[in-house]
Chains A and B, each alone.
Chain A
């Protein structure tokens, strides 16, 4: 592998150069090795789960796939609900910072949103259960009373507000900063000439944004949403603290029975797990790793392909 670095250095080779360049090369390759190690060790440790005795699974599930199925459903359901709430708001914030706010304030306002990303997830969990859930519970009662005929809002309503809908709100707040940050970067890269041309033709600011900024930023918005999706899929503590979980596939948003997510299920059960139970939880973790890896790779591939022909860099 050292030949890669050696061929690129045209100057006379000194010992210091050789040591330094191979040190950097090793560090770089180590990162790839770590990623591979994560996959390999998780796989090795989860193998016993796939052939586990049916008695090892709690509840009425008899094999690994029927155990992990509802968890995968819950993970994706909560993440997509969060995404639906977060993306429009994030686009709005990004537009506000990049095109509406006064130039002097824009950077400071960006920091303010970034602060939201700095709040630890346990604090979001405490806030979700201590502040948000009691706050939204009366609305849930009204929703079930008025729109109970609509399947997702069917009753009986949760008395505590600890539903998958509350979880989705908390997750939406948590993924707002990353979606906003990427959208903001992309919107700022819009060629100035496109914007000025639109304005010169008499477009209002919103028309300029719709004609110049949004079409240019669309791939960026898509990949930012997918990165946000990746975050929401893997978020653990906020879900573990807020959700009142069950083991089934449940579409209702506002009842006290909710499908748990993979990450939260691991966090809740890992401290007490033993024997094959540990391997089963590790195997669900492997599933989560694979899902988020695919989502993230797709998102990054879209961003990178955009970089090539945007001409902005």
Chain B
């Protein structure tokens, strides 16, 4: 605090009436120091057990907001003080949003690693396992098959629909499709699961139907709008000059789209598809409804219940057996596997977008 006060006698008239440079940083550090001292005293007095780091940072940050406002108001006036206060608050909002992200990743890694590292985790199913041990192979196979089938359904439909919107669609139908694609992105995932269930329960007249392909249909309902939106954005980025050049050479429109427009935008489209896979691979509710859960392997999408990774995490947590810690450990390990898959998909998608994006202009 003294460094701030020492600097106040100002000589340069241009900087008169301003807090010195970097003063906000020093005030922040000073506030944290004061609050750390307060909590250290509380700790040493023996009233609380353990030094409260979270309390130190939170209390110190609040103290900083007050201190910067008061100091700035004294030196720079009320308008500048308000500006500094809002800067502090806006930055704090950003940091607050990062806390859950850090906390989630940290707890998942710490709680998930013990079961994640057991040798059987990726090589066996849960069949006949009552206590610790067993693995998620059945869930991983199920997730890959269900999500893979959903991708096979959604990508052609989504891509063709986005081509229609960009290259062919004019008038009311195109406007309606654009609008309802946006609306569809907001359909709750559980409603998609209920739809798939209602559809197949009526088709096969089986009120207790559970099978993997139904899960693929439910995921497709969630995935198609995402694929359409991202592909549409990418197709729109293709410069019109390329299309006009192809037309001028006498290339038919459909060949222009296949040979000129799609290759130009393929990196962006692949990125969008991967992001949409990352979005649906973690969906639990629709698969709980229509794909059900089991502890055995099932390689058949069209028959019997099929386990998937998110549902595995949920059922391990929800239906704990006698050795509940083993179930909770497996739930966290499943969550860790899921997070790793999603993060890898996200990272790959960004890298593809970065490496292969067409170099437009200059």
Contact = CB atoms under 8 A, between A and B. Distances in A.
Interface centre among B158, B171, B282 (most CB of A within 10 A): B282
Interface string B170-198: 11011011011111111111111011011
Contacts of B202: 41, 44-45
A42 B198 contact: yes
A288 B190 contact: yes
Contacts of B79: 204, 207
A151 interface: no
A115 B186 contact: no
Given A31-B180, A293-B183, A37 B161 contact: no
A312 interface: no
B190 A93 contact: no
B332 A126 contact: yes
A119 B90 contact: no
Contacts of B317: 125-126, 129, 241
Contacts, number: 286
A126 B313 contact: yes
B75 to A, nearest CB: 14
Interface stretch (A12-20, A142-150, A247-255): A12-20
Given A23-B160, A42-B191, A237 B284 contact: yes
Interface centre among B80, B183, B199, B310 (most CB of A within 10 A): B183
Interface stretch (B15-23, B125-133, B248-256, B296-304): B248-256
Interface string B96-121: 11101101100110010000000000
B103 A8 contact: no
A192 interface: no
A236 B285 contact: yes
B11 interface: no
Contact of B89 (A92, A115, A278): A92
A116 B94 CA distance: 12
A285 B207 CA distance: 16
Interface stretch (A50-58, A106-114, A158-166): A106-114
Contacts of A131: 103-104, 107
B8 interface: no
Interface residues of B, number: 99
Interface centre among A92, A278, A297 (most CB of B within 10 A): A92
Nearest to B157: A27
A120 B198 CA distance: 25
B346 A115 contact: yes
A21 interface: yes
Interface of A: 1, 4-5, 8-9, 11, 14, 16-17, 19-21, 23-32, 34-35, 37-38, 41-42, 44-45, 88-89, 91-93, 95-97, 100-101, 109, 111-113, 115-116, 118-127, 129-131, 173, 176, 180, 204-207, 209, 227, 230-231, 233-237, 241, 263, 266-267, 270-271, 274-275, 278, 281-282, 285, 288-289, 292-293, 295-297, 299-300, 303-304
